[in-house]
């Protein structure tokens, strides 16, 4: 899910519908591309982002798995549609960037956002083949960076040494970066990488970084790789888990959570398996509890009025909102 610059909350369903969640709890369909979207396994409509100039150009960016056709295998792609009020303009979808053919139905990544530099950042999983993450000859297990028109910036770290669309690689060595978040008004990027057997990671996004998968999972000190800034172990407690999902910085236009408790600048993150939300303080390099018992959380977003929204998948699937009522 993602807030549009005008405050509307858009929620992507795996099967291909992009909905607008109204303040009264109603849902309206902004776009339905279910006829194009492959939903095998973890495939589907995975990411949505809004152009910084949305108020004038009305551009909405999508990240989804395109169904196979008689001539083209299934693959992930970035497209753009144009909004007209609460509906997408019919026929306005434009293909911006086509990724590698998607052989596996899991480890897809799926995040999409724009940073202060005006570029689109995209996360991709390793396509269930760990060795993909270390190769610059494919787009799997990476964070990609492209221009808003789908072209590749010449300033990308591997632009001169990679070829074709692989020049879009911005960072590598990731297993399944299901979610990342960009701190509002900056290019600070935190990447949530879902682990395999033992650890879940938050990584600092850095151009040209190699995060070490599959050689390492969790904390490591190998100078060839960039270690996570925070990692937690697998388990069944309120500080452990098995799949790091939603992530969001607390830097709203209106601060609602108490500033004396240090919320501003903190990074909220969630675990899909254990249904909790915790917050990481980059200044102190520590994490603390925030909420538990929330079901299968897949995304977090902070509204401009300072409330934290969470998207929970399952029965029932829901959008929840956490505000501050004062006191302790």
- In a domain, residue 89? The reply is yes
> With bands split at pLDDT 50, 70 and 90, how would you rate the model's confidence at 259?
confident
Instruction: Specify the pLDDT at position 328.
Output: 52
Q: Cβ(269)–Cβ(192) under 8 Å?
A: yes
Range of the domain at 29: 1-105
Residue at token pair 């520590």: 286
For 15-52, write each residue's pLDDT tens digit.
999 999 998 889 999 999 999 999 999 999 999 999 99
Determine, yes or no, domain membership for 306.
no
Lowest-confidence segment of 123-127, 143-147, 264-268, 315-319 by average pLDDT? 315-319
Residue 20 lies in a domain: yes
Q: Is residue 26 part of a domain?
A: yes
- How confident is residue 327, by pLDDT bands cut at 50, 70 and 90? low
Q: How many domains does the chain have?
A: 1
Note whether residue 51 is domain-resident: yes
267 with 240: CB under 8 angstroms? no
Q: DSSP class of residue 72? A: S
Q: Is the pLDDT of residue 315 over 90?
A: no
Q: Is residue 42 one of the residues assigned to a domain? A: yes
- Note whether residue 12 is domain-resident: yes
The pLDDT, as a whole number, for residue 32 is 98
Is a pLDDT exceeding 60 seen at residue 203? yes
* For residues 62-76, average pLDDT: 96
- pLDDT-derived band at 316 (thresholds 50, 70, 90) equals confident
Is residue 237 pLDDT above 70, yes or no?
Answer: yes
pTM confidence score: 0.97
- Token pair, residue 177, equals 């970066």
CA distance 233 to 245: 14
């Amino acid at each position: 899910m993602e807030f549009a610059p005008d405050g509307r909350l858009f929620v992507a369903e795996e099967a291909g519908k992009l909905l607008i969640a109204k303040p009264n709890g109603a849902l309206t369909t902004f776009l339905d591309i279910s006829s194009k979207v492959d939903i095998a396994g973890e495939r589907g409509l995975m990411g949505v982002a809004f152009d910084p100039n949305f108020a004038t150009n009305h551009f909405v960016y999508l990240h989804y798995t395109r169904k196979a056709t008689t001539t083209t295998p299934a693959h992930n792609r970035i497209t753009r549609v144009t909004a007209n009020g609460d509906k997408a303009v019919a026929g306005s979808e434009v293909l911006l960037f086509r990724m590698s053919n998607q052989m596996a139905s899991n480890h897809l990544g799926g995040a999409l956002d724009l940073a202060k530099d005006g570029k689109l950042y995209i996360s991709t999983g390793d396509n269930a083949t760990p060795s993909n993450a270390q190769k610059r000859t494919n787009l799997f297990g990476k964070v990609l960076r492209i221009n808003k028109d789908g072209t590749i910036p010449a300033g990308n770290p591997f632009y001169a040494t990679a070829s074709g669309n692989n020049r879009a690689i911005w960072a590598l060595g990731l297993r399944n970066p299901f979610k990342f978040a960009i701190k509002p008004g900056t290019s600070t990027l935190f990447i949530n990488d879902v682990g395999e057997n033992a650890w879940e990671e938050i990584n600092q996004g850095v151009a040209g970084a190699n995060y070490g998968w599959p050689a390492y999972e969790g904390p490591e000190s190998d100078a060839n790789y960039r270690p996570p800034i925070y990692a937690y172990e697998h388990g069944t407690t309120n500080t452990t888990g098995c799949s790091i999902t939603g992530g969001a910085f607390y830097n709203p236009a209106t601060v609602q959570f108490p500033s004396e408790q240090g919320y501003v600048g903190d990074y909220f993150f969630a675990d899909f398996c254990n249904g909790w939300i915790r917050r990481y303080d980059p200044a102190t390099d520590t994490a603390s509890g925030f909420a538990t018992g929330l079901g299968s959380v897949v995304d977090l977003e902070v509204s401009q009025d300072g409330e934290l929204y969470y998207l929970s998948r399952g029965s029932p699937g829901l959008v929840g909102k956490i505000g501050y009522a004062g006191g302790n």
